[in-house]
Chain A
């Protein structure tokens, strides 16, 4: 499956050279610089877009965000490192995790227990697993964008953009699952496999232990349970 995100690649390619001047400096091809741009980009650029945490308000598509980020990467006024790169800065994930938790906790009086931010993400058919830090996102939409980038031939369809509301509607859920190729699911604290999107985002982050992106047809079995849980909670 082609990745549409490569549109306009060459124009937005990162160049080395003195800021503000183009001639004389060589265009050094950092092949794949934008390819190494991490899913975390979603958060840094979208922070302005999504001030509240209501998933229903988001209108910015993943594609627009990507373009915005690449543009800011070549804008001489903004240093390229606003875009975060995979594996940069070179700090062990263990340390990043601890400090990320500490940053979030600073200001709050009570310690609410240790939260594991990084969860493994597997996708049916993909050769290996990845890891995401759920605490880097504030909504399902952001997570969905990030996962889309990670597994570039993965389509979430419209599952992520509508968020909570769609999953309350059982028939619409069925349409979505039948229509899309892949569906994100997660294992919660009780060890049950749930459909992503059931519960409010914060609750999801608290309870998610790992993610699995399943083929849509396999995920249908989860749907009635998901809707049931939702109904119980509302």
Chain B
């Protein structure tokens, strides 16, 4: 390197457009964030060229500041309620409202094109405002949201002239039996993806057929259970180019004309790689889809309660290229053995409980998991609801599969020990974290002591999200995790004996994380107040189940639910009465 007289060439001699073009190749949020920290001019260029923004917590920043920071925003992802809201631990009306975001962006010059929401409260009013505020709006994806009806969908359909994607996943939608599908104008031919599987009401079938017919780019279509078999068959004839199909009602008589036509229609759908639906299913009709099984990479039968283990295994045996499988536990351990021998490309497995209300009925055990781990070396993502688990099994799984990124185990009996040895499952989970060096997400269950947290803190160096329930003995457990897991972003804890000492030991840690949830633990109001006082960049929220007011409660009393998160904008204005902002 020459110093002194020789000028060093640096990238700032390039015009902004060149830098911008270079930045176009940098797509990950993390990398773009890093780029913006290099110097002022890079910050400025990155700021104006940034189109995609991800906000993991909608309360970490205000709509106004977002708009000021990234005026070129085109695609926004927002997440609202804490994860445990999915399991009824957060009362309705807690927050996560979409409307203020739409209002602010609508007033500004933001040309929003894509919106993806998770666990937000979405009103019809906000959907209507959205549909009218952004002429280039293309894509709406709603996951686990609520607060809207089919009237809101009608507004989207009617007003978003260039809509490409309407994807509704597991939302609570009030059905007004409207003809929202008919609201897509005849001129709308741009649809690429339409998913309304979660809707409960009737659908105008003729409108649906016409819509599919005039959508030559349609690649993904997921129907709800109100769409009958013969309509499905007609839709397939109109859209043989589909890549992703979710069936509606899959019930018919194999000897009927409709069934024969369906078999013919599906033969020409040789692009289908992803299959789901089957909320209503007649097992004897499953053989009709065998022809497309050999190309499937994603199969979701997790709502197909009507299929028994042998029907499932017969189907899965045809799916040799499967990468992702979502299934109910009625497949059984033997069935999982079939998966292990047939699906060598499997990366992700989710086994859901077919009877979520009765812990005694789970049909899979540690055996099924061991079989899959032995047969599917590429396995990297697991969600497994089971009746029992042993340390030996987990140790074997850890040996067989070292690539886990996501490992979520739910033993339906919340504090069940290893049934063979009667020991806690510390060693089993310890083996997983030791062996899977890339582990990013972990959910624990079963009988667990502080020891498992010692292992997690020691070995789970890449861990970003940890979910704990009914585990641990003392504050030490939580401290092992907070001290050891440097990359931790989300920690959610329920019913554990972790208290003030653990909470307050390293207050600065929470500024490096997105959020912390603690419910039914040993944390007192006084400790929460202290944390709030010392850390102005954190919002500490207490959700109180009783009718006591803040003044009634003394500092020594334990809080029911505490949710804290880092934020740049202080207390939120929309918190309901039962949420105390400390």
Which residues on A are within 8 Å of B, measured CB to CB?
Answer: 16, 18-19, 26, 28-33, 35-36, 40, 44, 79-82, 84-96, 98-100, 102-103, 106, 111, 114, 116, 120, 125-131, 136, 153
Are A96 and B470 neighbours in the complex by a CB distance under 8 Å? no
10 residue pairs bridging A and B, Cβ less than 8 Å apart: A16-B415, A31-B521, A79-B359, A87-B87, A88-B414, A90-B410, A98-B303, A102-B279, A120-B92, A125-B547
A125 to B415, alpha carbons, bound, how many Å?
A: 36
A87 to B413, alpha carbons, bound, how many Å?
A: 13
Are A90 and B86 neighbours in the complex by a CB distance under 8 Å? yes
Please tell me if B29 contacts chain A, counting CB pairs below 8 Å. no
Evaluate whether A40 and B144 lie within 8 angstroms (CB atoms) in the complex, with A19-B422, A87-B89, A89-B385 already known.
Answer: no
Question: Which residues from A are CB-within-8-Å of B360?
Answer: 82
Evaluate whether A111 and B356 lie within 8 angstroms (CB atoms) in the complex, with A81-B413, A92-B144 already known.
Answer: no
Q: A79 touches which one: B385, B410, B416, B578 (CB < 8 A)?
A: B416
Please tell me if B353 contacts chain A, counting CB pairs below 8 Å. yes
A120 to B86, alpha carbons, bound, how many Å?
A: 16
- Of the candidates B226, B356, B443, B577, the one having the most CB atoms from chain A within 10 angstroms of its own CB is B356
Evaluate whether A30 and B495 lie within 8 angstroms (CB atoms) in the complex, with A90-B410, A106-B305 already known.
Answer: yes
Please tell me if B354 contacts chain A, counting CB pairs below 8 Å. yes
Are B93 and A94 neighbours in the complex by a CB distance under 8 Å? no
Question: Which residues from A are CB-within-8-Å of B385?
Answer: 89, 91
Q: A30 touches which one: B144, B280, B410, B470 (CB < 8 A)?
A: B470
Q: A129 touches which one: B92, B172, B357, B417 (CB < 8 A)?
A: B92
Question: Which residues from A are CB-within-8-Å of B91?
Answer: 128-130
Are A36 and B88 neighbours in the complex by a CB distance under 8 Å? no
Evaluate whether A91 and B87 lie within 8 angstroms (CB atoms) in the complex, with A103-B355, A111-B249, A128-B92 already known.
Answer: yes
Are B495 and A127 neighbours in the complex by a CB distance under 8 Å? no
A126 to B306, alpha carbons, bound, how many Å?
A: 40
Given A88-B414, A153-B547, 15 other A-B residues pairs in contact with their CB atoms under 8 A: A80-B413, A80-B415, A81-B415, A82-B359, A84-B357, A87-B87, A88-B469, A90-B443, A90-B469, A91-B385, A92-B144, A98-B303, A100-B356, A106-B305, A127-B544
Q: B416 touches which one: A29, A35, A81, A128 (CB < 8 A)?
A: A81
Interface string of B303-345 (1 = CB under 8 A from A): 1011000000000000000000000000000000000000000
Evaluate whether A88 and B558 lie within 8 angstroms (CB atoms) in the complex, with A28-B497, A31-B520, A95-B170 already known.
Answer: no
Q: B547 touches which one: A93, A96, A126 (CB < 8 A)?
A: A126
Question: Which residues from A are CB-within-8-Å of B352?
Answer: 91, 95
- Of the candidates A35, A87, A98, A100, the one having the most CB atoms from chain B within 10 angstroms of its own CB is A87
Are B88 and A29 neighbours in the complex by a CB distance under 8 Å? no
Question: Which residues from B are CB-within-8-Å of A32?
Answer: 495, 520, 560
B261 to chain A, nearest CB (A): 22
Are B576 and A94 neighbours in the complex by a CB distance under 8 Å? no
Are B576 and A127 neighbours in the complex by a CB distance under 8 Å? yes
B410 to chain A, nearest CB (A): 6
A95 to B88, alpha carbons, bound, how many Å?
A: 13
Please tell me if B200 contacts chain A, counting CB pairs below 8 Å. yes
Evaluate whether A89 and B170 lie within 8 angstroms (CB atoms) in the complex, with A36-B520, A127-B577 already known.
Answer: no
Evaluate whether A98 and B279 lie within 8 angstroms (CB atoms) in the complex, with A89-B385, A111-B249 already known.
Answer: yes
- Which residue from chain B places its CB closest to the CB of A209 in the assembled complex? B174
Q: A18 touches which one: B93, B422, B494, B544 (CB < 8 A)?
A: B422
Please tell me if B46 contacts chain A, counting CB pairs below 8 Å. no
Are B578 and A136 neighbours in the complex by a CB distance under 8 Å? no
- Of the candidates B91, B170, B494, B495, the one having the most CB atoms from chain A within 10 angstroms of its own CB is B495
Are B86 and A81 neighbours in the complex by a CB distance under 8 Å? no
Q: Is the interface of B mostly helix, strand, loop or mixed?
A: loop
Question: Which residues from B are CB-within-8-Å of A86?
Answer: 88-89
- Which residue from chain A places its CB closest to the CB of B416 in the assembled complex? A79
Please tell me if B117 contacts chain A, counting CB pairs below 8 Å. no
A141 to B101, alpha carbons, bound, how many Å?
A: 45
Which residues on B are within 8 Å of A, measured CB to CB?
Answer: 84, 86-89, 91-93, 144, 170-172, 198, 200-201, 225-226, 249, 251, 279-280, 302-303, 305-306, 352-360, 385, 410, 412-417, 422, 443, 447, 467, 469-470, 473, 494-495, 497, 520-522, 544, 547, 558, 560, 576-578
Are A29 and B356 neighbours in the complex by a CB distance under 8 Å? no
Question: Which residues from B are CB-within-8-Å of A94?
Answer: 144, 170-172, 198
Question: Which residues from B are CB-within-8-Å of A126?
Answer: 547
A86 to B323, alpha carbons, bound, how many Å?
A: 34
Q: B86 touches which one: A93, A103, A114, A116 (CB < 8 A)?
A: A93
Q: A81 touches which one: B198, B412, B422 (CB < 8 A)?
A: B412
- Which residue from chain A places its CB closest to the CB of B91 in the assembled complex? A128
A126 to B92, alpha carbons, bound, how many Å?
A: 13
**Which are the 3 A-B pairs with shortest beta-carbon distances?**
A102-B305, A81-B413, A87-B87
**Total of A-B residue pairs, C-beta within 8 Å:** 142
A90 to B497, alpha carbons, bound, how many Å?
A: 20
Question: Which residues from B are CB-within-8-Å of A98?
Answer: 279, 303
Are B495 and A92 neighbours in the complex by a CB distance under 8 Å? no
Evaluate whether A114 and B303 lie within 8 angstroms (CB atoms) in the complex, with A32-B520, A129-B92, A130-B91 already known.
Answer: no
Question: Which residues from A are CB-within-8-Å of B93?
Answer: 128-129
Evaluate whether A114 and B200 lie within 8 angstroms (CB atoms) in the complex, with A31-B520, A36-B520, A102-B306 already known.
Answer: yes
Are A33 and B495 neighbours in the complex by a CB distance under 8 Å? yes
Are B422 and A87 neighbours in the complex by a CB distance under 8 Å? no
A33 to B497, alpha carbons, bound, how many Å?
A: 11
B218 to chain A, nearest CB (A): 25
Are B87 and A136 neighbours in the complex by a CB distance under 8 Å? no
Are A30 and B497 neighbours in the complex by a CB distance under 8 Å? yes
A33 to B353, alpha carbons, bound, how many Å?
A: 23
A132 to B64, alpha carbons, bound, how many Å?
A: 38
Evaluate whether A31 and B412 lie within 8 angstroms (CB atoms) in the complex, with A87-B88, A91-B356 already known.
Answer: no
Evaluate whether A31 and B200 lie within 8 angstroms (CB atoms) in the complex, with A92-B144, A93-B88 already known.
Answer: no
Question: Which residues from A are CB-within-8-Å of B88?
Answer: 86-87, 93, 131
Question: Which residues from A are CB-within-8-Å of B359?
Answer: 79, 81-82, 84, 89
Question: Which residues from A are CB-within-8-Å of B467?
Answer: 90
- Which residue from chain B places its CB closest to the CB of A35 in the assembled complex? B520
A103 to B303, alpha carbons, bound, how many Å?
A: 11
A106 to B279, alpha carbons, bound, how many Å?
A: 12
Question: Which residues from B are CB-within-8-Å of A120?
Answer: 92
A111 to B201, alpha carbons, bound, how many Å?
A: 14
A28 to B521, alpha carbons, bound, how many Å?
A: 12
A120 to B89, alpha carbons, bound, how many Å?
A: 15
Question: Which residues from A are CB-within-8-Å of B226?
Answer: 114
A89 to B360, alpha carbons, bound, how many Å?
A: 12
B364 to chain A, nearest CB (A): 13
B327 to chain A, nearest CB (A): 13
Are A79 and B577 neighbours in the complex by a CB distance under 8 Å? no
Are A99 and B416 neighbours in the complex by a CB distance under 8 Å? no
B391 to chain A, nearest CB (A): 15
Question: Which residues from A are CB-within-8-Å of B201?
Answer: 114
- Of the candidates B87, B172, B352, B412, the one having the most CB atoms from chain A within 10 angstroms of its own CB is B87
A36 to B358, alpha carbons, bound, how many Å?
A: 17
A96 to B357, alpha carbons, bound, how many Å?
A: 8
